[in-house]
């Protein structure tokens, strides 16, 4: 189960994720981002309460990163230790801007 | 050695049932959260692969067996299906040093499985694909 919260100010969008980003829930985030990124130049994905990520979740982050590379910047914040390890193993720690 | 087994139709809708089964067994042995997430992620990647390809376009059964053994404790997760013979370990690893623009979406799941587990083995035996994942639970 994944909870997605969005906060938007002008061209800045913060997406806060809680729960699990897996094969079942990744399409929800994909759909949410697809309809939200128009005109956004600063995207922040807050992972404070994200407990789990699988390759399906990584794919959604990769496509968001590709979109944001064209129109602005993307940051990923509050990444927990176990999720950080997944990012490192897959080289996503180099692709994403983790702050 | 203690073990538990789940037989389930190999379809994506059953992923949560498979993951809950694994989490319940691991919770019961107080598996450290980090190892638990890694085992669950690996299991997700393998089950989704079986659900997507093993019997396509039909469907069939997947058996998930979980065993705990040894000291320090080792978790062994075995996935068995009777679908098309397929060794996922033969797939070339993705280049994880490429920038976002050059990254594809394929191959990441099985690559993560190999990296997160201590040992991953494939065998085709008696008409069955048998994929065995091992993770040591040392602290």
Q: Which domains can be identified in chain B, with CATH numbers?
A: 2-136 (3.30.565.10)
Position B1 pLDDT exceeds 70: no
| Residue A53, number of CB atoms within 10 A of its CB | 27
Q: Which two tokens stand for residue B68?
A: 């705990």
Question: What is the ipTM metric for this complex?
Answer: 0.90
Q: What is the CATH number of the domain that holds A25?
A: 3.30.750.24
Cross-sheet strand order for the sheet of A73-77: A2-9, A12-21, A42-53, A73-77
For B35-43, what is the mean pLDDT?
Answer: 96
Q: How big is chain B, counted in residues?
A: 139
Average pLDDT, chain B: 93
Query: Which of A82, A85, A96 has the most B C-beta neighbours within 10 Å, making it the best mutation to test the interface with B?
Result: A82
* Sequence-distant contacts of B101-107: CB under 8 A, at least 24 apart: B101/A66, B101/A69, B103/A62, B103/A95, B105/A59, B105/A62
Which range marks the domain in which residue A56 is found?
2-95
Task: Tell me how far the alpha carbon of residue A11 is from its chain's centroid.
Answer: 17
Position B139 pLDDT exceeds 80: no
Instruction: List the beta bridge partners of residue B128.
Output: B125
Q: Report the percentage of chain B scoring pLDDT > 90.
A: 84
For B44-48, what is the mean pLDDT?
Answer: 96
- Dist. CA A60–CA A49, nearest whole Å: 18
Distance from CA of A4 to the nearest CA of B (A): 19
Given a contact cutoff of 8 angstroms between Cβ atoms, the answer to whether B108 and A59 are in contact is yes
What is the band of A63 on the pLDDT scale with cuts at 50, 70, 90?
very high
Task: Domain count for chain A, please give it.
Answer: 1
CB contact under 8 A, A58 and B108: yes
Contact of B16 with chain A, judged by CB distance below 8 Å, is answered with: yes
Q: What pLDDT does B72 receive?
A: 78
Q: What are the φ and ψ backbone dihedral angles of B54, each rounded to 5 degrees?
A: -60, -45
Q: Which residues contact B59 (CB under 8 A, 6 or more apart)?
A: B9, B10, B11
For B73-92, what is the mean pLDDT?
Answer: 95
Query: Which of B96, B107, B113 has the most A C-beta neighbours within 10 Å, making it the best mutation to test the interface with A?
Result: B96
């Amino acid at each position: 189960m994944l909870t997605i919260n969005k906060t938007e100010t002008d061209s800045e969008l913060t997406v806060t994720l809680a729960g699990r980003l897996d094969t079942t829930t990744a399409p929800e985030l994909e759909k949410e981002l697809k309809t939200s990124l128009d005109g956004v130049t600063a995207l922040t994905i807050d992972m404070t309460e994200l407990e789990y990520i699988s390759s399906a979740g990584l794919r959604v982050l990769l496509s968001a990163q590709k979109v944001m590379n064209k129109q602005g910047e993307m940051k990923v914040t509050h990444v927990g230790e176990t999720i950080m390890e997944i990012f490192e193993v897959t080289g996503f720690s180099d692709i994403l801007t983790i702050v | 050695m203690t073990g538990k087994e789940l037989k389930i139709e190999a379809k994506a809708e059953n992923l949560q049932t498979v993951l809950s089964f694994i989490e319940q067994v691991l919770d019961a042995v107080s598996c450290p959260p980090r190892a638990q997430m890694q085992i669950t992620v690996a299991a997700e990647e393998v089950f989704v692969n079986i659900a997507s390809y093993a019997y396509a376009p039909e469907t069939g059964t997947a058996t998930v067996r979980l065993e705990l053994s040894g000291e320090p404790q080792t978790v062994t997760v075995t996935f068995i299906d009777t679908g098309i013979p397929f060794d996922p370990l033969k797939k070339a690893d993705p280049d994880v040093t490429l920038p976002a623009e050059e990254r594809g979406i394929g191959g990441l799941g099985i690559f993560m499985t190999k990296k997160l587990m201590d040992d991953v083995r494939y065998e085709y035996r008696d008409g069955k694909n048998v994929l065995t994942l091992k993770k040591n639970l040392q602290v």
